[in-house]
């Protein structure tokens, strides 16, 4: 393994380039276009035309993307400054990340980025206690801190680099805020042209719906066709996940756990089943794994795959694009195809405690199953001659064949 020195610290280099090695050794070098899910070597070239809100923006095609230029370092024995994300490791290399030249060059680059990006959030003395709605500094609304404040990578990078050198006045780009397509809100006034979104869409998602042009010397990102839908966007949200600013957002926001409103299938399932995980396993052709995920929360997947009223589908965000994912039918598919997997482990340690469960409907059966997995001795009391509660007496046989219900109850017994 190569050994290099960064800021006087000798390091066994784990990583392909100086930036990766420094971050692995917990030496921070500011960066914006690099992202752990994206290959540092992934190249992007400008297009002839992209669209922002249906309006074409044009530029010279085929120009390589130069990068954010913030990750500059000095390498002992080499002229000038180097982008650490593109500098391969060499044994014995000596790297300096915080010389006055490096700091000055980063500040200049940051100033250029912030010329067309609102930056009140970086300068306002009251920003920390601000409610983001009423501006006590009377900053015009488009220039105020956006609602990414506090979780914005650009803001953190700018705070690290520092703004003592002063920032240029903000020159608004006046792009419209794009809210008319499903699931995504795009505000390219906040875009810094890092192209993470373009690369994740092409290299990770495989949709290749986005591109960029260089217009008046500035990177303009947009969709390849007038709308995202026409560009082949799958509305997966990967671009939102990687965007380091507030330029890309989900249409829904909410209080509490982000997952609750971004993954409503899971939060609306009364059992809290991890729907995305088992759907993904099914997509990968792994029904047994899918069934294991379902059994984490539900002991009657064959039954519920037939009769659940699926509130998850009602809330599925895919319905904003075309139709909800057929989650209930997929549960049944997992149960039908994932055979061979036994949900009952062999080595349950008995607790010596006894639990009585009143009623053998779906709730009673579920409670009994998981209590016995915890090692308790469970007795279910049922007033009807056979177990199953409403599953047996409230649902006709053609919807829930009795042999399916009996099989799942036997497994619980
Ligand atoms: S994207 Fe970040 S830096 Fe830009 S206004 Fe929002 S919080 Fe501030
Ligand atoms: S939502 Fe997904 S498919 Fe659409 S632009 Fe973003 S990354 Fe590409
Ligand atoms: S929209 Fe976000 S991810 Fe895409 S180039 Fe702009 S800042 Fe980067
Ligand atoms: S992180 Fe290296 S050029 Fe952007």
Q: Does 3-41+66-161 carry CATH code 3.20.20.120? A: no
Residue 154 is predicted with a pLDDT of 95
Q: Do domains 3-41+66-161 and 258-337 have the same CATH topology?
A: no
Band the pLDDT of 320: cuts 50, 70, 90. Answer: confident
Note the ipTM here: 0.90
Instruction: Say yes or no to pLDDT of 308 above 80.
Output: yes
Please identify which residue in the block is written with the tokens 């042209």.
193
Domain boundaries 258-337, CATH class: mainly alpha
β-strand pairing of 94-96 with 3-6: parallel
Which has the higher per-residue pLDDT, 145 or 223? 223
Q: Which two tokens mark 280?
A: 């993904």
Residue 136 is predicted with a pLDDT of 78
Q: What is the DSSP letter of 101?
A: H
Residue 163 is predicted with a pLDDT of 86
Rg of the chain in Å (alpha carbons): 28
Burial label for 44, CB within 10 Å (0-12, 13-18, 19+), is middle
The DSSP line for 299-335 is S-HHHHHHH---HHHHH-GGGGTS----HHHHHHHHH
Nearest CA to ligand 3 atom 6: 191
The secondary structure of the chain in percent helix, strand, coil, rounded to multiples of 5, reads 35, 15, 50
Ligand 1 site, CB within 6 A: 117-118, 121, 145-146, 148-149, 152, 154-155, 190, 245-246
Q: What is the DSSP letter of 128?
A: G
Band the pLDDT of 251: cuts 50, 70, 90. Answer: confident
Average pLDDT, the chain: 91
Distance CA(156)–CA(274), nearest Å, equals: 33
Residue 347 is predicted with a pLDDT of 79
The mean pLDDT of 165-191, rounded to a whole number, is: 91
> Could you report the per-residue pLDDT of 361-389, keeping only the tens digit for each?
999 999 999 999 999 999 999 999 999 99
Phi, psi dihedrals of residue 212, rounded to the nearest 5°: -145, 155
Instruction: Say yes or no to pLDDT of 250 above 70.
Output: yes
Distance CA(145)–CA(130), nearest Å, equals: 9
Question: Where along the chain do its domains lie?
Answer: 3-41+66-161, 258-337, 354-412
Band the pLDDT of 254: cuts 50, 70, 90. Answer: low
Residue 255 is predicted with a pLDDT of 55
The DSSP line for 8-34 is TEEEE--SSBHHHHHHHTT-----SS-
CB-based contact 215:59 (threshold 8 Å): yes
Instruction: Say yes or no to pLDDT of 151 above 70.
Output: yes
Residue 257 is predicted with a pLDDT of 59
> Could you report the per-residue pLDDT of 51-94, keeping only the tens digit for each?
999 999 999 999 999 899 999 999 999 999 999 999 999 999 99
Instruction: Say yes or no to pLDDT of 256 above 70.
Output: no
Ligand 2 site, CB within 6 A: 184, 200-201, 205, 207, 209-210, 228, 233-239
Distance CA(51)–CA(244), nearest Å, equals: 21
Interacting residues of 355 by C-beta distance below 8 A, sequence separation 6+: 371, 376, 377, 378, 379
Instruction: Say yes or no to pLDDT of 341 above 80.
Output: no
What end-to-end distance do the CA atoms of the chain give, in Å?
Answer: 57
Residue 133 is predicted with a pLDDT of 75
Best of 206, 224, 239, 320 for a ligand 2 pocket test (most atoms within 8 Å of beta carbon) = 239
Instruction: Say yes or no to pLDDT of 259 above 70.
Output: no
Ligand nearest to the CA of 87: 4
Which is the closest atom of ligand 2 to the Cα of 238?
Answer: 7
Instruction: Say yes or no to pLDDT of 144 above 90.
Output: no
Nearest CA to ligand 1 atom 7: 149
Which contacts qualify for 104-108: CB closer than 8 Å, 24 or more apart?
A: 105/72, 105/81, 106/30, 106/70, 106/72, 106/161, 107/161, 107/162, 107/165
Nearest CA to ligand 2 atom 4: 233
């Amino acid at each position: 393994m190569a050994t290099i020195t960064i800021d006087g610290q000798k390091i066994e280099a784990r990583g392909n380039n100086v930036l990766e090695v420094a971050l692995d050794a917990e030496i921070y070098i500011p960066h914006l276009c690099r992202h752990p899910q994206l290959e540092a070597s992934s190249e992007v070239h400008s297009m002839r035309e992209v669209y922002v809100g249906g309006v074409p923006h044009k530029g010279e095609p085929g120009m390589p993307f130069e990068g954010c230029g913030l990750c500059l370092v000095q390498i002992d024995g080499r002229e000038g400054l180097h982008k650490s994300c593109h500098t391969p490791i060499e044994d014995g290399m000596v790297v300096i990340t915080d010389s006055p030249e490096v700091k000055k060059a980063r500040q200049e680059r940051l100033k250029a980025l912030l010329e067309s990006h609102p930056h009140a959030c970086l300068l306002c003395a009251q920003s920390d206690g601000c409610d983001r709605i009423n501006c006590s500094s009377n900053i015009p609304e488009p220039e105020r801190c956006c609602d990414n404040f506090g979780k914005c990578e650009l803001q953190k990078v700018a705070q690290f680099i520092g703004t003592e050198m002063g920032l240029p006045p903000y020159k608004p780009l006046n792009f419209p805020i794009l809210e008319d397509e499903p699931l995504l809100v795009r505000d390219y006034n906040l875009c810094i042209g890092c192209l993470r979104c373009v690369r994740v869409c092409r290299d990770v998602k495989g949709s290749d719906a986005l591109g960029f042009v260089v217009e008046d010397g500035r990177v303009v990102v947009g969709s390849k066709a007038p709308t995202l839908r026409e560009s082949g966007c799958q509305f997966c949200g990967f671009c939102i996940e990687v965007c380091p600013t507030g330029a890309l957002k989900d249409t829904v926001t909410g209080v509490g756990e982000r997952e609750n409103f971004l993954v409503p299938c899971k939060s609306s399932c009364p059992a809290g089943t991890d729907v995305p995980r088992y759907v993904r396993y099914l997509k990968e052709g792994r029904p047994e794994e899918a069934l294991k995920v379902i059994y984490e929360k539900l002991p009657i997947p064959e039954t519920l795959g037939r009769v659940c009223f699926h509130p998850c589908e009602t809330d599925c965000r895919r319905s904003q694009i075309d139709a909800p994912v057929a989650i209930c039918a997929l549960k049944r598919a997992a149960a039908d195809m994932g055979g061979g997997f036994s949900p009952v482990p062999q080595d349950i340690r008995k607790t010596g405690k006894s639990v009585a469960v009143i009623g053998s409907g779906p709730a009673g059966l579920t409670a009994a199953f998981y209590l016995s997995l915890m090692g308790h001795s469970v007795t279910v009391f049922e007033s009807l001659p056979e177990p199953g509660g409403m599953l047996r007496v409230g649902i006709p046989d053609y919807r829930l064949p009795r042999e399916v219900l009996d099989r799942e109850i036997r497994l619980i017994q």
